[in-house]
Amino acid sequence: MLTEKVPVGVMSSVVAPEKPTSNTMGPKEVELILVKEQNGVQFTSTTLAAPNQNQANPSGEEERETWGKKIDFLLSVIGFAVDLANVWRFPYLCYKNGGGAFLVPYLFFMVIAGMPLFYMELALGQYNREGAAGVWKICPIFKGVGFTVILISLYVGFYYNVIISWALFYLFSSFTSELPWVHCNNTWNSPNCSDWADNSLASDIYKTTPAHEYFERAVLHIQDSNGIDDLGRPRWQLTSCLAVVIVLLYFSLWKGVKTSGKVVWITATMPYVVLTVLLLRGVTLPGAIDGIKAYLSVDFLKLCDAKVWIEAATQICFSLGVGFGVLIAFSSYNKFGNNCYRDAIITSSINSLTSFFSGFVVFSFLGYMSYKHKVDLDKVAIDGAGLVFVIYPEAIATLPGSSVWAVIFFIMLLTLGIDSAMGGMESVITGLIDEFKFLHKHRELFTLFIVVATFLISLFCVTNGGMYVFTLLDHFAAGTSILFGVLIEAIGIAWFYGVDRFSDDIEEMIGQRPGRYWRLCWKFVSPCLLLMINDEGLLTQTDCRLTCRFQSGPVLQQIWNLVYDSTSSQDA
């Protein structure tokens, strides 16, 4: 408060000197004193004014924006981590690897590796307030790891957006009185098309279902390509769907967390609503209980197989989304004192619970399919895109009001994919604009450049032979490279920057030092586990990514053989 009078005219304002405080960072509140003179008498009033968060600080740099609400951050992280693989991968792994017994290695690795790595990335981004590359100012020799994960996130987007465009294509196709994958009398069907109702042909490897042919021949048009050297032109239907996806991504990201934090209120919550609705419908179907029993059946003998433990460890790493730079980018927009420890526990737990919950939805419908067609559950229980684009649409087509259920299901797939794609693209954008500061003032244009470049390269995946390109990208984009990147990241933090120093950083933020358990996991347990997974080279045998490998169909099997043969020759 100023004690002396200020000579003014009609009205003036004075900024009081800031009261000294200790350990303060960032913008300060200032005291404004308004002095008004009327008839020779001065009247004063005081107000506290906070500076604009976007104004420049003394160093000349703009203050970093933060999430509008804490829930925006939590929904963004949950939306990124809970993606299509939670629906089409985890339930199948659980069923194949001992049912409920698979939860033992899954939860074990989540506690000793998943949560510690998740916590590490959130704390790393929040303390340094930079993207995946900028955070390595703490240990510049590892900066290449930051650019590596940015690059991986970039070219994962080249094919992940294509999956979303498939879901959008199916969504548009569902607005009909009769779903187009019900019968074999369409122009795209081959002589091998056969309805499941003919049980004598159900086991014939040369016969395919209408739903299978709809995906391969009506959506992908892979029959019009002779191989990867015969791609053809982009198909306008899928190109249009891909363009819609790109537009949605741009307007979700162009203003940063101000816009993306609002979009996730829909994209992150809608899947839970739809999954619940589908579960309530699924459990009423005949055979659903048998499917759920098969999903939960406990076979502890499976735990004697080392492959089961390896698949559980790999699933945890990919399911939580560590190593893509997304968690670092999202947490960098947190307030400095945010409790990232609590956030890590909450979001990683919700992700795993969602995977488990989705299994009930999936296997209620698979049990119904097994009952309806009088075949073993093994005949219909597959993973990957074949589950959500072939088996599930086929099951929905047999329900009353099938078009409505199809619309609901593909809206869920669309929202599951969009927020995960938003996370991957935010990792690229934040990582690069934090590294090249001049891009901060041109975020909208730079975001447009990234999404347009992604769209142009993704066009190779929507050609007649685009499935060949898609499979190659899927196989090599985010497999061993991500696991190796996380391994180097863990080593850089634990052994070069130092666990003790990293713990001091966390204590400075949340006022609580990580316990001995977390420090041991960061320094020894998690790196050893990641080293073991990388050494196994298991991504060739156990496909733990977003994959489009099918259990039947000679055309797509040929694609897989192409990839597998190339990998085998490299190993040799």
Q: List, as residue ranges, the binding site.
A: 79, 81-82, 86, 319, 351, 416, 419-420
Q: Is 95 within 8 Å of 281 (Cβ atoms)?
A: no
Q: Give me the numbers of helices (H) and strands (E) for the chain, helices first please.
A: 25, 3
Phi first, then psi, for residue 3 (nearest 5°) are -100, -25
Centre a 10 Å sphere on the Cβ of residue 223 and count the other Cβ atoms it contains.
14
Distance, CA of 272 to CA of 263 (rounded, Å): 15
Name the CA radius of gyration of the chain, rounded: 27
Phi first, then psi, for residue 44 (nearest 5°) are -125, 150
Mode of pairing for the β-strands spanning 41-49 and 11-15: unpaired
Centre a 10 Å sphere on the Cβ of residue 224 and count the other Cβ atoms it contains.
13
- Classify 568 as helix, strand or coil: helix
Query: 36-75 burial string, b = 16+ CB within 10 Å, else e?
Result: ebeeeeeeeeeeeeeeeeeeeeeeeeeebebbeeeebbbb
User: Which residue is listed with tokens 């390595």?
Assistant: 136
User: By C-alpha distance, which of 143, 110, 109 is closest to 485?
Assistant: 143
Phi first, then psi, for residue 497 (nearest 5°) are -70, -40
Q: DSSP letter at 513?
A: P
Q: DSSP letter at 182?
A: S
Q: Is 61 within 8 Å of 437 (Cβ atoms)?
A: yes
Q: DSSP letter at 208?
A: B
Query: 342-371 burial string, b = 16+ CB within 10 Å, else e?
Result: ebbeebbebbbebbbbbbbbbbbbbbbbbb
Residues at the annotated binding site for Na(+)? 79, 81-82, 86, 319, 351, 416, 419-420
Give the type of residue at 485: G
